[in-house]
Copies of this chain bind each other. A is one copy, B any other.
Amino acid sequence: MSSLALYTLQQLVKRAVSDDLDDSPDTPSVGDDPLEDSNPVENEIFSSWALFILLLLLMLALWSSYFLQQRRIKAIHETVLSIFCGMIVGLIIRLSPGHYIQDAVKFNPGYFFNILLPPIILNSGYELHQANFFRNIGSILTFAIPGTFMSAMVVGVIVYIWTSIGLDGVKLEFVDALAVGATLSATDPVTILSIFNAYKVDPKLYTIIFGESLLNDAISIVMFETCQKFHGQPVKFSSFFEGIGLFLMTFTISTIIGIAIGILVALILKHSHVRRYPQIETCLVLLFAYQSYFFSNGAHMSGIVSLLFCGITLKHYAYYNMSRRTQIATKYIFQLLAQLSENFIFIYLGLSLFTEVELVFKPLLIIIAFISICVARWSAVFPLSRFLNFLYRARLEKYSGISNLNSNGNLSLNVPDEISHSYQMMIFWAGLRGAVGVALAMGFGGDAKWTLLATVLVVVVLTVILFGGTTASMLEILGIKTGCIDESADSDDEFDIEAPRFPLQANLTSHQNVLGNRRFMKTQPKAAPFRDNTSNNSSAVNLLDNESNPNIVNGGDDEEELIGSDIDEFRSDTLASPTFGNTSTNPDRGMLGAILSAEEHARWFTRFDEEVLKPVLLDTVPGIQSSANNSSSNLSGGRRE
C-alpha cells in the first residue's frame, strides 16, 4: 500500500516537473491549447489545487473576520488582512514552479463580472433599506452621476498631462486617459460597506456612500465603454453630449429592465402555484434576478443598475408573494453568496498583484495616479456637497415659512447642513477604489495595457489599505456616530437569526434573553403576515406580548394591515408622518426632515403604489389559502387555551 502511495507521489512530482519543463514559468503563456488536449483528470487535479488554495484563503479571511469581531479588534480590518493574505500566497505561487495554478488564479474579468459581482449587487438591492435609500436618492444620484463624471475628467486630465510629459515613456490618447479616469472613479461597493457595516455607521451617511458606490460602478462602466468606442477617432465636442445621452439612456433603460423583471416575478408568483414547490420557487427567483443582470449586460445596458433595481423590486413586491420557505431561503442564499464574493474579491486583488506576470510597474505613474484620484475625489465631493446644502436650504425656504421670519444670513445659523462637513470628509475618505476598476482595466488595449493595468491595480490596493485601514480612526476623528443600531435594519437581522429559532426557543431552546425576545416580537409582525388577510393579526395580538407594537393594536382592521407593517413603515417613512423622526437616527433631521420628505413625487408614488400597484402585484387575496385560514385561527385559538 505504501509503495502505491509512493508511486502516486512520484507521478505527481514527475508531472509537476515535466510541466515545469514544458513551459518555463518566465514565459507568459496563456496556454489553453496544450491543456485542451491533455487529460481532464490531470487538469482537474491542478484546478483542484488552485481552487483549494483560493477556498483556503477565503476560509482564512472569514476566520480572521470572526476572530477580529470576537476580540473586538477594530484597528485592523479583515479586508486589509485579506489583501495581504492574497499577496503573500500570490508571491508563493509566483515563486513556485509550474504555471498552471498561476494561470488558474489569475484575475479574470469574466469571472468577476459574471460570478463575483452579481451576488453582491443583488444582495445589496434585496437588503436595501428602501426608505433610507429613496429618502436620500437626490444626494446619491448627485454624487453618483456628476460626481463620478467630474472625478473621471479630473483623473483623465491629470494622467493625460503627465503622460504627455513623457517621463515614463507611456503615450496615451486623451480618450484613453479618460478611460483610465473612468476605471479609477468606480468607488467600491464592497470594501467600504463591509467596514461601515462592522462599525454600524449613521444610516444616512451609510446610505449615501452605499448608493453612490453602487451606482457609480455603472457610470464608470458606461463611461469606459464610451471612451473605448471613441478610441482612435478625433475627439469632437459633440461626442461629449453623445456620451451623456448614451449614458442617460443606458441608466433609464437598465432601471426599467430591472423593475420590469421584478414585477414579472411578482406576477408569476401571484398567478401560479409555484409556491407549492418552494425548492423550484427559490431557484426561479434567483434565476430571474440573474437574468436581469445578464439580459441587461447582453443588451449593452448596465447589468449592475438592472440587478440593483430588480433586487429592490423583488423585495418590495415579489417577496410578499413567496412561500415562507422561499422568503427565508432567498435571504440566506443571497447573503451567503454576497459574503463569499465580497471576501473573495479582496483576496483576488491581492493575489493578482503577483500572479499577473505581465504587469509593468511605473512607480511615478502610480504616484501621480494616486494623487490624482485624491484630487479628483476632493474636487467632486466638496463642491457637490455645497451644491446639495444650497439646494436643501432653498427648498426649505420654499416649503417652510422660516425664511419669512429671519433674514437669509440668520437662517444659515439655525438650519443644519444637509451634508455636514464631517460627512463630506467621510464621503471623501470613503472613495476607495475597487475590483470593478481592475476588471475594467483588463480591457485596455495597445502598448500601454500592462502599465495601465498595473497602475490601476496598485492604486486600488493602495486605496483599500490606506483609506480602508484608516476608516475606523477617521470615523473617530470626525466624530461621526458609530454603533447606530438602525432600528429596522437591526430588526431585520434579528429576524434572520432569531425567527427560525423562535418556535424552538419558545418551546424547546433558549438562545435569547428577554430583551431580545421583546424586540423580536416587535419585529415579528413586520416579516410575517403577508399571505393572510383575515383575523390572524388579531389572534397574533392576543398570543403575543404586544405592548411594544402599537402598529398592530391600532390598525387591526385597516386595509394597510393586510400588506404588513414593513410596507407600512416604508410608506410612513416616505411620507411626512409622525413616525418619521423615529426611524431617522440623524438628530439633525426631525421636523425639517418631515418637511423635506413631504415632496410631491414621493407622496404621489406612495399613493399609486398603495392603490394600484400593490393590489395588482401582491397576493393579498390568496384563494388557495382560504381553507387553511380557519384551521389556523382555530389552532391559535386552541393554543391560547
Q: How far is the CA of A343 from the CA of B635 in the complex (A)?
A: 38
Q: Which residues on the B side are within 8 Å of A639 (C-beta)?
A: 506, 543, 545
Q: Which residues on the B side are within 8 Å of A333 (C-beta)?
A: 329, 332-333, 336
Give, as a whole number of angstroms, the nearest-CB distance from A519 to chain B. 13
Q: Which residues on the B side are within 8 Å of A113 (C-beta)?
A: 40, 44
Give, as a whole number of angstroms, the nearest-CB distance from A69 to chain B. 6
Q: Decide if A160 is an interface residue (CB 8 Å cutoff).
A: no
**Binary B-proximity of A284-305 (CB < 8 A = 1, otherwise 0):** 1011101101110110100100
Q: Report the 5 A-B pairs with minimum CB-CB distance, sorted nearest first.
A: A510-B632, A48-B297, A508-B540, A507-B540, A40-B109
In the bound complex, do residue B507 and residue A636 qualify as a contact, i.e. CB atoms below 8 Å apart? yes
Report the nearest B residue to A39, measured CB to CB: B443
In the bound complex, do residue B110 and residue A47 qualify as a contact, i.e. CB atoms below 8 Å apart? yes
Q: Decide if A156 is an interface residue (CB 8 Å cutoff).
A: no
Give, as a whole number of angstroms, the nearest-CB distance from A92 to chain B. 16
Q: Which residues on the B side are within 8 Å of A343 (C-beta)?
A: 283
Q: Decide if A608 is an interface residue (CB 8 Å cutoff).
A: no
In the bound complex, do residue B509 and residue A536 qualify as a contact, i.e. CB atoms below 8 Å apart? yes
Give, as a whole number of angstroms, the nearest-CB distance from A483 to chain B. 17
Report the nearest B residue to A248, measured CB to CB: B1
**Interface residues on chain A, size class:** 35 or more
Q: How far is the CA of A315 from the CA of B48 in the complex (A)?
A: 24
The contact sample of 17 A-B pairs, CB cut-off 8 A, is: A1-B245, A47-B110, A48-B293, A48-B294, A52-B294, A66-B277, A279-B336, A280-B339, A324-B500, A325-B496, A328-B500, A503-B506, A504-B528, A507-B525, A507-B543, A510-B536, A512-B631
Q: Which residues on the B side are within 8 Å of A354 (C-beta)?
A: none
In the bound complex, do residue B524 and residue A508 qualify as a contact, i.e. CB atoms below 8 Å apart? yes
In the bound complex, do residue A48 and residue B504 qualify as a contact, i.e. CB atoms below 8 Å apart? no
Which of A36, A277, A290, A631 has the most chain B CB within a 10 Å cutoff?
Answer: A631
Q: Which residues on the B side are within 8 Å of A291 (C-beta)?
A: 52, 55-56, 59
In the bound complex, do residue B41 and residue A225 qualify as a contact, i.e. CB atoms below 8 Å apart? yes
Give, as a whole number of angstroms, the nearest-CB distance from A95 to chain B. 19
Contact (A62, B502) CB under 8 Å given A52-B295, A497-B323: no
Contact (A340, B39) CB under 8 Å given A47-B110, A291-B56, A536-B508: no
Q: Which residues on the B side are within 8 Å of A225 (C-beta)?
A: 41
Q: Name the segment of A4-12, A464-472, A484-492 touching the other chain.
A: A4-12
Q: Decide if A246 is an interface residue (CB 8 Å cutoff).
A: yes
Q: Decide if A567 is an interface residue (CB 8 Å cutoff).
A: no
Report the nearest B residue to A338, measured CB to CB: B279
Q: Decide if A440 is an interface residue (CB 8 Å cutoff).
A: yes
Give, as a whole number of angstroms, the nearest-CB distance from A368 to chain B. 25
**Binary B-proximity of A29-63 (CB < 8 A = 1, otherwise 0):** 01011001111110111011101100110110011
Q: How far is the CA of A110 from the CA of B44 in the complex (A)?
A: 6
**Binary B-proximity of A172-196 (CB < 8 A = 1, otherwise 0):** 0000000000000000000000000
Q: Which residues on the B side are within 8 Å of A525 (C-beta)?
A: 507-508
In the bound complex, do residue A294 and residue B545 qualify as a contact, i.e. CB atoms below 8 Å apart? no
Contact (A284, B30) CB under 8 Å given A294-B48, A325-B500, A500-B328: no
**Binary B-proximity of A265-280 (CB < 8 A = 1, otherwise 0):** 0000000111011111
Q: How far is the CA of A440 from the CA of B445 in the complex (A)?
A: 38
| A47-B110, A500-B500, A507-B524 known, 10 other contacts, Cβ within 8 Å | A4-B245, A40-B113, A41-B443, A48-B303, A63-B284, A323-B497, A333-B333, A510-B536, A510-B631, A511-B531
